Amino acid sequence: MLYFINFGMPDYKSGIEHAELKRLRLFEQHDYPCKIIIHDWSRDLHATAARAGVDDQHLLSMFDYFQKTVSVPQQRVTVTDIDLGISNPQLVKDGPNHRYLVSRPDGRLLARVNYDEENNEQVTSVELFDGYGNLYRVDIYDSRGFRTLLQWYSPDNKIDNEEWVTPDGQVVMRAFHKFNAQGKLVTTGWWLQDHKQLVHQFATLDQLFAYFLNVVNEKGQNTFILDRSLLADDALIHLDRPAYTVMHLHNSQAGNAQDPLHSVLNDNYEYALVNINKYSAYICATARQTKDVITRFHPTCDMYTIPVGIVPESQLKAPRVPESQRIFGKIIAVARIAREKNLGALIKAVEIAHDRVPEVTLDLYGYPDSANNYGEKHKLTKLIHELNLTDVVTFKGYTSNVEAVEDRAQIFGLTSVMEEFNLSIMEAISHGVVGVTYDVNYGPNDIIQDGQNGYVVDYGDYQALGARLITLFKDPALMQKISDGAYDSARRYSPDNVWQGWKKLIDTAKERLKGVE
Amino acid sequence: MIYLIGENVFSLNSGTEFSQFQRLHALKRAGHEVKIVTRNYNRFLSQNLKQHGLDQQDSINMYDFFQKALNQPRKKQGLRYLESILLQDYHVVGIDNNRSEVHYQGKTIANIHVMPATVGLVGDVEYLDDLGHPAVREYWDWRGFKSMVESYHPDGTIGSQRFLDPHGQVVLEITHMNIDGQVRPTMWKLLNYGGHNRIFDSESAIFTFFLNELNRQRQGTFISDRRSLDANVLAVDQPVQTIAVIHSQAKDKQGIYADYQLALNGNTTTHFDKVALPTKQEERALRRFVTYPNCLHHVMDCYYKVTTKDRQLSAKPTLVYRGMLTEVKRILDLISAFQLIHQQLPNARFVMQGYFTAGYQSSVENLIKQSGLNDSVDLLNYKVQPTIYDHTDLFINASENEGLGMNMVESMSHGVPVISYDVPYVNTLLPNNNLVANGDPAALAKRVVATLSDSQGYAALSKKAYQIAGQYNETDFVRQWEELLG
């Protein structure tokens, strides 16, 4: 079996989750069995995963496994289904807070039953009060409709112990919270009763997860793809039984992506890189990154370059949109409004272009990063005002229909500090949008082939980027030629091509695990 | 069905429980269906029952009832054979006869305490967190099943207690939270009892519910032996009848003690159908103080089989006191009296057998030491069997009062006479020449010395003792109880 390891599958996904989902689709299309292993507990894992198109067959949550809830039919649970221990509770709906207040006949509060307003008042949690008005426990309900986690409260109203239960109420996992030597309330241990009734004790959740990976790897030939290094970089190189263990880089391995051979290592990957040969293999999303890793670390493990983006066959075959049908001067960027996306540089390049080509406009698609109280968005807004570009540059927010935008735009601009692949620029070229990008590691300078499907300018040289924009807008024939090149180049990310990369890994893994039963 | 309601079958029991046990045996032998019904959680209950000649069939404990363990047979669960211990990864290291530790890579991660009075059977497993705090503790019942799981608040106080049935299913939860700034049990929650959860604000509330469940399953006579349980018994809906059994003095000059009001006068809605008193004198004394004098009855509170061996004074006279060692028994007076006795009869020994209530032991031991009596006074542990009388001459008593003084009846049933302060209602049990002025150790000492110096007189006293004890026989006991039960 092939496993991808991640923390969860939330509604708000980063590029890593998107990459994982695309990979999952590809494996499904080739009928190759695989599962996403989930490290964190989440009450609505199965709901969010289902929305992302991941069914129970492809999901293996550690908590589910020990709670025996890997696959549980959806059940409807509303306030009247909760047995609070008295026969005639008084219910008062507190709509604004999405809950019911449940009282004893003498008026003492018995419970607050919280529900999901968007889901027919399905119960999400129950806050329980004793007869003296103490909140003593919060029972959290899985989105599938069973009690999953009991959080016991201390007399001073902090969570003191957490217990995960099976649907029939057996406690199978516990986390303890106690004061440490500094007097701070911290998680001080984990307790697990496994399927054989054996009790295990762990200092940390990571240790527990390491044990779980060994349980998963108890038999058969298994491949583990680690998509979030810190979840299991240690565990994977200390498995009890052989497995094909693969570290998947989803970001630059170097702290300064422009100086990959010398700069301090990205701390997410430092441990994994120092121990590089203890893994069976590494995956990078671009050839350039693979080359840099080899140059710096001289690994003897297997090295793969497998793009994390896949352009679906339907898009490769879709009718092409000629430049004449696009909005003249329309530049787009699809990126979070975040510091590392460095959109200020793109705005400055657009200013240069706009001076010569007044039709130029820039639309920014992406939700603003909340760091520093949305500091980046404030900074960019200020810049746009200073450059007098308020009619030119527009914040469009997050869009789930980026394809429509791409079919109308001419140029995709990118000036990030660092990238790992950048799915957006790959999607853009597959829609014939010309990419103009800084020479930034890794992804943009791989996806964009200078003069064929776009242009790559030196990192930090926004004047050069502005000049390229002018050249393209002033030369419609060139624009059309490069756009055609963009459509053509998308074939590099066809499902077949990407699958070939995975196929090689699968075959190698089989070879390496020969003799493992 | 007759339910004898008590708090517990303790490992150390007072006269109240002994009286209950005797009643159970006698009524059972007379063909009645009788059960001892107890409230407290006691994972040693089946062992304690056995110590007192009872078995599981005689007992319905509330926790056992809800834990579905009333008829659970004993299985010896060796701690090294626990199915939960991961011997592949962990070392179990024996520390001493009472404890083993579970080690992982040299670190102690759990303690396993040995079941008291066993060799290597599991008593409890205490799991530690990574900082060494007790984090969760699993208690085992004497019968070899995991019975209760306890977890702790960050400050180490108990956070929750979960009670399990023998299959490991949680059936009852007790939550411990603040009441007026103190962490105490605040909620009892029955899980899936008859298909529903039920919550209770106190142990008393769940006990009342439990008694009603018993009565619903099998209607019966409820006999309350403990004043702490009178309210629960009175709250039973439609029992056959309710009886309060009084084991001690229930009033003084000021009137009925507050604790006895419910037993004797009931509450605004109900009262005991019958109140059993151990002596006629107490029954009479109470009559004009109670609302329902016709409910008062005198019924024997104990019985003993009389041995008939003639007793001779021994050369080295031994005095005995057997019973609770507590302030109201005025053990210090006994020691003061014995000091005077010992001055005149240096051969004499004094043996006390029983258990101390908290804090009293040190004052008793100090006085023994101060009086220079260490070599002449023995403190023997609590023992159910009355073997001590084989080697004693006199029983001495200085208690403030007694309902009757069953320990003295027991002594007399072995022919060992009693010299006591003249206090109610011992003074109804003993003839005058066995009584001395209340609160006067010198008088007690004088009478003892006189008795021990007159072997003929002693023989007569012993004979008289047999005679008195003979009135407290099982046949009469059963007859009186059957009359009371109606």
CA distance B245 to chain A (A): 33
Q: Tell which CATH architecture fits domain A79-203.
A: Alpha-Beta Complex (3.90)
Using CA atoms, how far apart are residues A193 and A208, in angstroms rounded to an integer? 11
Whole-number Cα distances in Å, A127 to A85, A150, A155, B350: 14, 10, 15, 62
* B256, B223 contact by CB (below 8 A): no
Q: Which regions of chain B carry the CATH code 3.40.50.2000?
A: 2-71+204-298, 318-471
Cross-strand partners of A179: A185
Of B153, B154, B197, the CB nearest to A83: B197
Using CA atoms, how far apart are residues B146 and B167, in angstroms rounded to an integer? 9
Among chain A residues, the shortest Cα distance to B160 is held by: A152
Q: CB A130 to CB B175 under 8 A?
A: yes
Using CA atoms, how far apart are residues A422 and B100, in angstroms rounded to an integer? 58
Of the candidates A278, A189, A277, A269, the one whose C-alpha atom is nearest the C-alpha of residue A231 is A269
Q: CB B199 to CB A84 under 8 A?
A: yes
* CATH top class, domain A313-492: alpha beta
Checking DSSP bridges between strand A393-397 and strand A454-457, what pairing results, if any? unpaired
Of the candidates A510, A19, A36, the one whose C-alpha atom is nearest the C-alpha of residue A283 is A19
CA distance B306 to chain A (A): 54
Cis peptide before B41 (omega within 30 of 0): no
Does residue A380 surpass a pLDDT of 80?
yes
Q: What angle do CA B379, B381, B385 make, to 5 degrees?
A: 120
Q: How confident is the model at residue A9 (pLDDT cuts 50, 70, 90)?
A: very high
What digits encode the pLDDT tens for the residues A435-483?
999 999 999 999 999 999 999 999 999 999 999 999 999 999 999 999 9
3-state secondary structure of B207: helix
Q: CB B85 to CB A178 under 8 A?
A: no
Using CA atoms, how far apart are residues B486 and B482, in angstroms rounded to an integer? 6
Q: Which residue do the tokens 């992982």 mark?
A: B104
Q: How many residues in total does chain B contain?
A: 486
Using CA atoms, how far apart are residues B291 and B264, in angstroms rounded to an integer? 8
| Token pair belonging to B313 | 């004074």
* B255, B32 contact by CB (below 8 A): no
Q: Which CATH superfamily is domain B2-71+204-298 in?
A: Glycogen Phosphorylase B; (3.40.50.2000)
Using CA atoms, how far apart are residues B138 and B134, in angstroms rounded to an integer? 11
Split chain B (486 residues) into runs of 10 and give each run's mean pLDDT: 96 92 97 98 96 94 98 94 92 95 96 96 97 96 97 94 96 96 96 96 98 98 97 98 96 93 95 97 94 96 90 91 96 97 96 94 96 95 92 96 96 97 96 96 97 93 96 97 97
Does residue A517 surpass a pLDDT of 90?
no
Q: What pLDDT is recorded for position B315?
A: 86
The H or E element spanning position A133 is none
Using CA atoms, how far apart are residues B349 and B339, in angstroms rounded to an integer? 10
pTM of the entire structure? 0.90
Q: What pLDDT is recorded for position B33?
A: 98
Whole-number Cα distances in Å, A126 to A113, A114, A122, A148: 5, 6, 11, 11
Burial of residue A156 (number of CB atoms within 10 Å: 0-12, 13-18, 19+): exposed
CA distance B43 to chain A (A): 21
Q: Give all strands (DSSP E) within A297-379, no chain letters.
A: 302-305, 330-334, 361-365
Using CA atoms, how far apart are residues B13 and B36, in angstroms rounded to an integer? 14
SS percent in chain A: helix, strand, coil, step 5: 35, 25, 40
Q: CB A155 to CB B136 under 8 A?
A: no
Q: What angle do CA B231, B237, B241 make, to 5 degrees?
A: 80
Per the prediction, chain A carries an average pLDDT of: 96
Among chain B residues, the shortest Cα distance to A137 is held by: B175
Of the candidates A225, A189, A223, the one whose C-alpha atom is nearest the C-alpha of residue A206 is A189
Whole-number Cα distances in Å, B90 to A240, A442, B83, B483: 16, 47, 13, 64
Q: CB A176 to CB B135 under 8 A?
A: yes
Residue-wise burial string across A226-260, b where 16 or more C-beta atoms lie within 10 A, e elsewhere: bbbbebbbbbbbebeeebbbbbbbbbbbbeebeeb
Q: What pLDDT is recorded for position B310?
A: 85
Cα A456 vs. chain centroid, distance in angstroms? 27
Q: CB A189 to CB B169 under 8 A?
A: no
Q: Stretch A168-178: mean pLDDT, rounded?
A: 95
Using CA atoms, how far apart are residues A125 and A128, in angstroms rounded to an integer? 10
| Token pair belonging to B281 | 């004198």
Residues 6+ apart with CB under 8 A from A241: A214, A217, A218, A516
- B318-471 folds as Rossmann fold (3.40.50)
Residues of B with CB under 8 A from a CB of A: 83-86, 89, 104, 109-110, 127-131, 133, 135-136, 149, 151-155, 157, 159-160, 162, 168-170, 175, 177-179, 183, 186-187, 189-191, 196-199, 201
3-state secondary structure of A101: strand
CA distance A56 to chain B (A): 28
CA distance A233 to chain B (A): 22
| Token pair belonging to B291 | 């609302």
Q: CB B198 to CB A170 under 8 A?
A: no
CA distance A137 to chain B (A): 9
Using CA atoms, how far apart are residues A286 and A120, in angstroms rounded to an integer? 46
Domain A2-70+207-305 coded CATH 3.40.50.2000: yes
Q: Do domains A2-70+207-305 and A313-492 have the same CATH topology?
A: yes
The alpha-helical segments, DSSP class H, found in B128-279 are 203-217, 230-234, 261-265
* B454, B345 contact by CB (below 8 A): no
Q: Tell whether the torsion through CA atoms of A23, A27, A28 and A34 is positive or negative.
A: negative
| Token pair belonging to A339 | 């510091």
Q: CB A136 to CB B198 under 8 A?
A: no
Domain chopping of chain A, boundaries: 2-70+207-305, 79-203, 313-492
Q: What pLDDT is recorded for position B247?
A: 94
Of A132, A170, A180, the CB nearest to B186: A132
Q: How many CB atoms lie within 10 A of CB B132?
A: 13
Using CA atoms, how far apart are residues A411 and B117, in angstroms rounded to an integer? 85
What digits encode the pLDDT tens for the residues A250-274?
999 999 988 999 999 999 999 999 9
Among chain B residues, the shortest Cα distance to A166 is held by: B169
ipTM of the complex: 0.90
Q: What angle do CA A249, A251, A256 make, to 5 degrees?
A: 125
A500 residue type, one letter? Q
Does residue A283 surpass a pLDDT of 80?
yes
The H or E element spanning position A335 is none
Residues 6+ apart with CB under 8 A from A72: A142, A144, A146, A167
Q: Which residues of B touch A134 (CB under 8 A)?
A: 177-178, 186
Q: Which residue do the tokens 């303790």 mark?
A: B10
Share of chain A above pLDDT 90, in %: 95
Report how many helices (DSSP H) and strands (DSSP E) chain A contains, helices first.
Answer: 16, 23
Count Cα neighbours of B67 within 13 Å in the Cβ-side half-sphere: 28
A224 residue type, one letter? F
Checking DSSP bridges between strand B59-61 and strand B418-421, what pairing results, if any? unpaired
Q: Tell whether the torsion through CA atoms of A64, A66, A67 and A73 is positive or negative.
A: positive
Checking DSSP bridges between strand A2-6 and strand A34-38, what pairing results, if any? parallel
A427 residue type, one letter? E
Of A132, A170, A198, the CB nearest to B177: A132
